[in-house]
Structure 1
């Protein structure tokens, strides 16, 4: 049982090829991944440095 309409459950494939490939992620999503990944790497690195120097 779903409360969403069928067209929202199966999104349109605007950026997809005719061969059924998945659409490419947008530039905003890629930038968000890079920023969040950078923050994560910084936090892990600063935690390791803090543990090793204590």
Structure 2
């Protein structure tokens, strides 16, 4: 009998200048940049992601 092992997949944001940072900030805090075009892009991208605790 072999003991089963669990594999965890962890994706962390390590770079402060990553494209995901504004999306994460919007999902976590509801903050958007002041530029309307960029804010619209972030809102659109954020629909594809969810933060799991």
Q: TM-score, normalised on structure 1? A: 0.25
Higher Cα Rg, which structure: 1
Q: TM-score, normalised on structure 2? A: 0.26
Which protein has greater RCO, CA pairs closer than 8 Å, 6+ apart?
2
